């Protein structure tokens, strides 16, 4: 039996080497050269083609090449009863936290202002930010968001976290549910979005919610592009209600060259680099799940299809 691999961003031979180093002992078929459909027992994929995974009658598990699984559940014709597993990786979590911390500090220490001053050869100082009186709001406080919130709190920021269900993180004010969202937003001078993309979170950063942020707030989005209504974000920046935004994810990737986000003076664009999966560390989880399947044991990091994460 074989493992189906599909990703335009990753090297299949690298994944295969580490999978087998960790004891998976699998043969890999790289999409679309899958061979006989009945040979496929596992799928390790990023953005599978709609309907494709249903073609494999012996498929036992689907593994996401990524922390998020919205790219898998975008296929409305997934095979029923086949578990979907996400990756939880300490290396990826650390990368994402680094990006969020950089984004907050970039704005907190006026680095964009100093870059503009340098372009004008102007020796100009800007008001010092008071870290202990500045509040960062982290939307989504699961594995990655929780790590981000803890690290920002360790730097001395006041930190709030918001999630669908109750959470508890030492040193972080944890809020949850729709009723608490306006309060959470209203106190977030720096907003970091790390939410999973689900039908309930798509478009969550829109004209109404962005207006609830304090005037002069900054947004850092490293979750998914479809969390943001781009037209509403640009309007909030143009009006002066928001002071800046750092965006790593977009509705369409690569971001088209004519997209207005590229040239907006208050927006920083990065090409989905906040966190890249490291096959060396991530293959261990996939290999462990393959071994568990063969032993008839419970899988790690199974996603709840009803919740989407």
Partners of 169 in the β-ladder: 172
Assess contact for 5 and 15: CB atoms under 8 A.
yes
Cα separation, 140 vs 88, in Å, equals 15
Pairing of strands 2-6, 217-221: unpaired
- With 0-12 / 13-18 / 19 or more C-beta atoms within 10 angstroms meaning exposed / middle / buried, residue 206 is middle
- Token reading at 24: 């998976």
Cα separation, 125 vs 178, in Å, equals 40
Instruction: State the catalytic residues.
Output: 224, 272
CA distances for 292 relative to 23, 53, 98, 285, 297, angstroms = 11, 21, 33, 10, 5
């Amino acid at each position: 039996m074989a493992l189906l691999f599909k990703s335009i961003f990753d090297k299949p031979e690298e994944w295969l080497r580490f999978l087998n180093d960790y004891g998976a002992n699998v043969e890999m078929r790289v999409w679309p050269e899958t061979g006989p459909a009945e040979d496929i027992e596992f799928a390790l994929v990023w953005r599978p083609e709609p309907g494709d995974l249903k073609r494999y009658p012996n498929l036992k598990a689907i593994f996401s090449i990524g922390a998020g699984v919205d790219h898998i559940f975008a296929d409305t014709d997934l095979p029923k009863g086949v578990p979907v597993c996400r990756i939880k990786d300490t290396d990826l979590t650390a990368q994402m936290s680094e990006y969020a911390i950089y984004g907050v500090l970039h704005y907190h220490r006026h680095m964009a202002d100093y870059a503009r001053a340098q372009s004008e050869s102007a020796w100009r100082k800007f008001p010092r930010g008071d870290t202990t009186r500045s509040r960062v709001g982290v939307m989504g406080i699961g594995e990655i968001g929780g790590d981000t919130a803890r690290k920002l709190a360790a730097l001395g920021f006041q930190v709030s976290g918001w999630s669908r269900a109750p959470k508890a993180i030492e040193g972080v004010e944890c809020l949850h549910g729709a009723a608490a969202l306006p309060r959470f937003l209203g106190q977030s001078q720096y907003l970091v979005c790390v939410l999973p993309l689900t039908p309930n979170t798509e478009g969550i950063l829109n004209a109404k919610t962005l207006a609830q942020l304090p005037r002069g707030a900054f947004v850092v989005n490293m979750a998914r592009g479809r969390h943001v209504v781009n037209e509403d974000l640009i309007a909030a920046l143009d009006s002066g209600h928001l002071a800046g935004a750092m965006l790593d994810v977009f509705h369409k990737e690569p971001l088209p060259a004519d997209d207005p986000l590229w040239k907006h003076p208050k927006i920083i664009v990065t090409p989905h680099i906040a966190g890249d999966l490291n096959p060396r560390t991530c293959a261990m989880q996939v290999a462990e799940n393959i071994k568990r399947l063969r032993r008839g044991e419970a899988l790690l990091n199974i996603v709840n299809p009803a919740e989407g994460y």
